[in-house]
Amino acid sequence: MDFFIKLKRIDLNATFNCGQCFRWRLSKSPESAQKAEYIGFAGSKSATVRQETDGITLLGVEPDDIPYWENYFCADEDYSALIETFSQDSTLKAACEFAPGIRLLRQEPFETLISFIISQNNNIKRITGIIDRICGISQICNSGRFPQPCEIAALTPLQLEAMGAGYRARYILDAANKINFGEISLDEIKKIPYNESKVELLKIIGVGDKVADCVLLFGFYKLEAFPHDVWIKRALERYYPDGLPECTKGYEGIAQQFLFHYIRNL
């Protein structure tokens, strides 16, 4: 069935191409020439999503999956109110006006963890290629689902290297093994405060502050997380040498997405 989700502010192009996810592709269907349409995956789910004037339409989804996608696209978050609050700061106001339809996604934690380990010192094309090849190990033919920790843990470093992971292969395996054998619990990370959850993720070889914050923001929706990459560091040096403005408190991660997209496109 097709299902419409009313969202006052969403731009699929900006949302899917702002560096937070890697498994959505522009559709080549005739209808997509009129409206942006993406085909993609999130964890074990797949969907075709079409841009509408006041929201998005999910094409051919299972009725039981609708709550999943409403949660994924953060239908419960009032972005108009957030942008109004952020606009108390002149730089954030400009960033929100530049791309008012950026929306944070609630992604699957394990998929997000592996994806951002892969993203280190990498570019979007290579990241998506490696993730696609890793998804190809699934035992469910053509499912496209992201593998479980046990499936990745069963791989060898050489297999991952052959998929393009390079030196990140041992980081990927360390993450998969620690989760598969219960040394790190993703369910527990969801429940504990931001600072404690970051300490847990930093136990994984190859996971530093930036990757941990990306995973906590995009995979666990911990909005205090504020990943620092080269673009954000430049923004902080230029606009916020004394720290982020008070209007971002509690929503620093969403503010980061607006700033990141704005600064790198200036």
Whether the pLDDT of residue 32 is over 70: the answer is no
CATH of the domain spanning 3-76: 3.30.310.260
Contact 37, 28 (CB under 8 A): no
pLDDT band of residue 125 (cuts 50, 70, 90) is very high
Let me know how long the chain is.
Answer: 266
Domain ranges of the chain: 3-76, 109-218
Assigned token pair, 48: 């075709």
pLDDT band of residue 35 (cuts 50, 70, 90) is confident
Two domains, one topology: 3-76 and 109-218: no
User: Is 106 in a helix, a strand, or coil?
Assistant: coil
pTM of the model: 0.94
Q: What is the pLDDT of residue 31?
A: 64
Q: Does domain 109-218 have CATH number 1.10.340.30?
A: yes
Helix (H) or strand (E) segment spanning residue 26: strand 24-26
Contact 190, 201 (CB under 8 A): no
> Given 3-state DSSP classes, what are the helix, strand and coil percentages for the chain, each rounded to the nearest 5?
50, 10, 40
Assigned token pair, 220: 């666990």
Q: What is residue 9's DSSP assignment? A: S
How close are the terminal C-alpha atoms of the chain, in Å? 40
pLDDT tens string 187-203: 999 999 999 999 999 99
Q: What is the pLDDT of residue 33?
A: 61
